[in-house]
């Protein structure tokens, strides 16, 4: 039994095992149906705790759990005793006696870690203020499907230095690709974190100028300028030059693909003409959340 907490806690072979199973199952579903995949959750229940809204994470997990033969119990944090001060550790111990797996989306990263520490069943990180590992697993799959391989790709992260970008930087210490971080200087991920990642083998470039940063890139990734729970004001003015629009994306490679974890704020971080263009693989990425998460559940529950 193991929890899926962060990309940095995985080895390359863990990621490869998850992606290998995902591709196999996706093929079975495409050629036959989801009824033909292994029902690894038969007789099992999964609790999903949400402190923040969600469309993709909630629905893709619920559908994936049902495809695996399991049952989902969705718990809005405001509806359970957590909201009245019950501790994370007591919540973890009690839920562990009812369910076989817990998925959590929360504000404080430490809450997810504490839940995992105190649970006797695996915990999956469905987004915290610091990371979004399920998203990056789906993104890696989507890049492999569209570009053949993640290795040697020149990836651009443009916009806010947020939770999704942190998980991408963690992936860059494991995989052999180059990532350029293009954020306003004051919205960069902490420099210490970037330096540590470089010391761990990541190939990271920093370029605060969108026009030069996007030059020759294969994959362009952005996200909302204001993440859930981020109450900072006046970010929009500094982020305006970082909008991914037709003029900017022209400077990337001709065959560059555009990615966004969604939800998108059209007209802010990305324009309609980019997100709806042939270069955009955002909806394929959203679908891959469903496929990759079934295999993340498998990885958490499998006996080695």
State the minimum distance, in angstroms, from the CB of residue 229 to ligand NVA.
Answer: 7
Q: Which is nearer to ligand NVA, 36 or 230 (CB)?
A: 230
Lookup: tokens for 108:
């404080």
Q: Which is nearer to ligand CP, 146 or 215 (CB)?
A: 146
Site for ligand CP (CB under 6 A): which residue of 24, 33, 55, 200?
55
Is 261 a known active-site residue? yes
Question: Is position 162 an interface residue for ligand CP (rule: CB under 6 A)?
Answer: no
Q: What is the DSSP string of 48-90?
A: EEESS--SHHHHHHHHHHHHTT-EEEEEEGGGSGGGGT--HHH
Q: Which of residues 152-181 bind ligand NVA (CB under 6 A)?
A: 162-164
Site for ligand CP (CB under 6 A): which residue of 262, 268, 287, 301?
262
> Please, what's the b/e burial string for 14-47 (b: 16 or more CB within 10 A of its CB; e: otherwise)?
bbebbbebbeebbeebeeeeeeebeeebeebbbb
Is 182 a known active-site residue? no
The residues near 296 (Cβ < 8 Å, ≥ 6 apart) are 4, 18, 124, 134, 137
Q: Minimal CB distance to ligand NVA: which residue?
A: 227
Q: Which does 167 bind (CB under 5 to 8 A by kind): ligand NVA, ligand CP, none?
A: none
Is 223 a known active-site residue? yes
Question: Is position 264 an interface residue for ligand CP (rule: CB under 6 A)?
Answer: no
Site for ligand NVA (CB under 6 A): which residue of 73, 173, 203, 227?
227
Catalytic residue among 135, 153, 243, 293: 135
- Distance (Å, whole) CA 294 – CA 250: 36
Q: Which is nearer to ligand NVA, 181 or 261 (CB)?
A: 261
State the minimum distance, in angstroms, from the CB of residue 261 to ligand CP.
Answer: 4
DSSP 266: B
Q: Could you give the dihedral angle defined by the CA atoms of residues 219, 225, 226 and 230, in that order, rounded to the nearest 10 degrees? A: 90
Q: Which is nearer to ligand CP, 23 or 52 (CB)?
A: 52
| Residue 71 and residue 46 in contact, taking contact as beta carbons nearer than 8 Å | yes
Is 105 a known active-site residue? yes
Q: Which of residues 71-130 bind ligand NVA (CB under 6 A)?
A: 127
- Distance (Å, whole) CA 24 – CA 202: 29
**Closest among 150, 270, 254 to 203, alpha carbons compared:** 150
What are the E-state strand segments in 51-202?
Answer: 71-76, 101-105, 123-125, 154-158, 178-182
Site for ligand NVA (CB under 6 A): which residue of 68, 239, 261, 270?
261
Active site residues: 105, 132, 135, 223, 261, 289
Which residues here bind ligand NVA, judged by CB under 6 A?
Answer: 127, 162-164, 223-224, 227-228, 261
Which residues here bind ligand CP, judged by CB under 6 A?
Answer: 54-57, 127, 135, 261-263
């Amino acid at each position: 039994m193991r929890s899926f907490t962060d990309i940095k806690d995985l080895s390359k072979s863990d990621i490869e095992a998850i992606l290998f199973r995902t591709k196999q199952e996706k093929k079975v579903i495409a050629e036959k149906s989801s009824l033909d995949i292994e029902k690894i959750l038969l007789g099992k229940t999964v609790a999903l705790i949400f402190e923040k809204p969600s469309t993709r994470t909630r629905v893709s997990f619920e559908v994936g759990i049902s495809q695996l033969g399991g049952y989902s119990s969705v718990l809005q944090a405001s509806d359970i005793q957590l909201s009245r001060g019950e501790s994370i550790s007591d919540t973890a111990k009690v839920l562990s006696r009812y369910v076989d797996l817990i998925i959590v989306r929360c504000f404080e990263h430490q809450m997810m870690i504490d839940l995992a520490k105190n649970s006797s069943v695996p915990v999956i990180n469905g987004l915290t203020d610091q990371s979004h590992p399920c998203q990056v697993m789906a993104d890696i799959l989507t890049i492999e499907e569209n570009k053949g391989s993640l290795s040697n790709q020149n990836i651009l992260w443009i916009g806010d230095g947020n939770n999704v970008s942190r998980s991408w930087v963690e992936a860059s210490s494991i995989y052999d690709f180059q990532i350029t971080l293009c954020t306003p200087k004051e919205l960069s991920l902490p420099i210490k974190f970037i330096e540590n990642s470089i010391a761990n083998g990541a190939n990271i470039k920093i370029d605060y100028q969108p026009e030069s940063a996007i030059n020759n890139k294969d994959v362009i990734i952005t996200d909302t300028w204001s993440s859930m729970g981020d109450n900072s004001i006046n970010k929009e003015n500094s982020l305006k030059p970082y909008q991914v629009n037709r003029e900017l994306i022209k400077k990337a490679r001709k065959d560059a693909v555009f990615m966004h974890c969604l939800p998108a704020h059209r007209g802010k971080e990305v324009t309609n003409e980019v997100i709806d263009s042939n270069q955009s693989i955002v909806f394929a990425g959203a679908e891959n959340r469903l496929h990759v998460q079934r295999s993340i559940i498998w990885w958490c529950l499998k006996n080695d």
